[in-house]
Amino acid sequence: MHRYGSDIKLIVSDIDGTLLTSENDLLPLTEKAIRAVINDKQCDFTFSTGRALPMSLPIAAYFKLKIPFIYSSGAVYDPREERVISAPSIKPMQIEKVIKVAEKFGVGMITHTKTGMFCQVSDKDWETIASLEWMKGEKVDHARRVENIKTDVPGEIIRLDIFAEVDWLAAIWQEVNELIPNVHAVKMKRSIEISQDEMHKGTALTKMSQLMGIPLKNIMAVGDSLNDIPLLQATGYGVAMDTAPGALKEVADAIVPSAEENGLVKALEMCCYKN
């Protein structure tokens, strides 16, 4: 097991299901603990999320983050300079293959660019996406609906999701892995996140470690989803929420209660915050 406590200089937390509850709510005790860490001169706090930039920036502003954070499951943004530091794009050939898979199964697609999110989805799926809040009770104009992602998406695509709320999503995921080489594909609850193989939360954390001059061994990461596996594998001390799938728990050094039970507070208490 890795060392922790005073050795930890940076805490990196997932947002959905970790920092926020399953109802997208920020519990008062969790908020208090995060702000205590941010104000602590011995340790710092940021987040790593699968959210596109428009849904990530409000959280960063809410906590007045002054250090980089990870978004779109592998891109890095610096709020101090208001610029994207790292966001590798998917190759055109890979995009074409993803489109063919989506068309074969008749499912929608969501693209992440460096600064936006564009959706080629059904009316029902668009209603779901358009209704998303960055935090409970808080909305922001975070996505645009397009008819054709090949012609209507401005800028380079850094992540391309197959969006399908179906019980046979695993079959689509298997097809993606069989037909599309050199991609990092993660099956989530209602989507498959696809990026080039060097863009995921683990490589993004390594980039942040270099930028901030903080060794990976002195970073603790907390998450609850399969896209957090590279994050916990890269960090010095990995923590999984109790609601996390078994594959994530297997690579974690510790497991804490759910977000509904202020599990992130327990993780922070391992380091520099005491309630």
Q: What is the pLDDT, as a whole number, of residue 272?
A: 59
133-148 burial by CB neighbour count: b if 16+ within 10 A, else e?
Answer: ebbeeeeeebbeebee
Per-residue model confidence (pLDDT) at position 164: 87
Angstrom distances, CA of residue 93 to CA of 33, 34, 181? 45, 42, 10
Q: CB–CB of 194/162 below 8 Å?
A: yes
Question: Which tens digits make up the pLDDT trace of 58-68?
Answer: 999 999 999 99
Q: Residue 39, exposed/middle/buried by CB under 10 A (0-12, 13-18, 19+)?
A: exposed
pLDDT for the residue numbered 40: 80
Low-confidence ranges of the chain (pLDDT < 50): 1-4, 274-275
Distance CA 243, CA 224 (A): 7
| Helical spans, DSSP H, in the chain | 28-38, 53-62, 92-105, 123-130, 149-152, 169-179, 201-212, 229-234, 246-251, 263-269
